[in-house]
Amino acid sequence: MTSIALVTSSDAPALSPDDQLLIEPLQARGLTPLAVAWDDPTAQWEQFESIVLRSTWNYHRCLESFFSWLDHLETLQVPIWNPVPALRWNVQKTYLRDLAQLGIPTIPTFWIEQGETASLAALLKQLPWREAVIKPIVGACASDVWRIQATEIDQAHGALSALAQQKGLMLQPFLHEVQREGEYSFVFLGGTLSHTVLKRPQQNDFRVQPVYGGTCLHVVPAPALSEQAEEIYQALPRPLLYARIDALVQENRLVVMEVELTEPDLLLRFDSCAPLRFAQACSDHFLERKETLSH
């Protein structure tokens, strides 16, 4: 059996319920999955044939340490999925600028560097939208995400300026499509679209995460939407073992909200075949490397 590290964090060192669905399919393919926290100082990463990030959900609170850990993995020359360049690109949501430059529809965004409170104040005062969403450039699980109306700017300005002192922020218009239709998550495994989940917030909220009352439903999107998701995927840095593209639909066109290449919930539980596809993708990547080394 070949050991494969499914990387978690010290906050939650065990595999998530979703990732536990991978254990039997991986074992059936000769791979022994072990949960290992990325921030465990005793972990011996060189013992693994492959390292797959899964639930490193605290990385945004200690980004420098996370990057140092990625540097260390590269020196060990153990295959990391997704590859470190893709992870570094994806950790900061400024990747949306890169996608926009490639012609991928994204949400209009103003960027505020950490400490630029004056710029934040000016933007808030000139807000071109009746409602906006403000969130960190590096973040996870809707932490420190604000939905704000133009009439609330004065009351919220102090708290938002304090937040801008701590981290870079991004301002986007609030798109009501997330409440009307929901947010699509297109999950790619091994380079192929595996399954799609439609996520909706609970009434009077905008956050689709289950922790905030959001719901998820496995769907088969219109072929045109799946084709657009494929086009977006082709614009991403590759090779990739997994990817999740989150998008809204505006006028029959996907608009990217986020691309998750680092530690996404892959929503395997919503498609009974998805854990098998992911396990097969892991096995294929391992065999490809083994063949390369043998030559």
Q: Which domains does the chain have, with CATH numbers?
A: 2-81 (3.40.50.880), 110-173 (3.30.1490.20), 177-268 (3.30.470.20)
Cβ-count burial of 68 within 10 angstroms (0-12 exposed, 13-18 middle, 19+ buried)? exposed
CA 161 from chain centre, in angstroms, equals 26
Q: 250, 257 in Cβ contact below 8 A?
A: no
Q: How far apart are CA 115 and CA 21, in angstroms?
A: 43
If you count them, how many residues does the chain have? Answer: 295
Give, for all 295 residues of the chain, the pLDDT tens digit: 689 999 999 999 999 999 999 999 999 999 999 999 999 999 999 999 999 999 999 999 999 999 999 999 999 989 999 999 999 999 999 999 999 999 999 999 988 888 777 666 677 777 778 788 888 899 766 677 878 776 676 777 777 777 778 888 888 988 888 888 999 999 999 999 999 999 998 887 777 777 777 889 999 999 999 999 999 999 999 999 999 999 999 999 999 999 999 999 999 999 999 999 999 999 998 777 766 655 5
Q: How far apart are CA 229 and CA 181, in angstroms?
A: 17
Look at the block and give the residue holding tokens 């969403």: 133
How are beta strands 2-8 and 31-37 bridged, if at all? parallel
How are beta strands 146-149 and 131-136 bridged, if at all? antiparallel
Handedness of CA 29, 90, 247, 169 (dihedral sign): positive
Q: 70 in helix, strand or coil?
A: helix
Q: How far apart are CA 134 and CA 147, in angstroms?
A: 6
Q: Please report the pLDDT score of residue 71 as a whole number.
A: 95
Would you give the end-to-end CA distance of the chain in angstroms? 22
Residue 64: C-alpha distances to residues 69, 91, 150, 227 (Å): 9, 12, 35, 37
Q: How far apart are CA 193 and CA 227, in angstroms?
A: 10
Upper half-sphere CA count for residue 195 (Cβ side, 13 Å): 20
Q: Please report the pLDDT score of residue 36 as a whole number.
A: 98
Q: Is the pTM of this model over 0.85?
A: yes
For residue 68, what are its two tokens?
């140092």
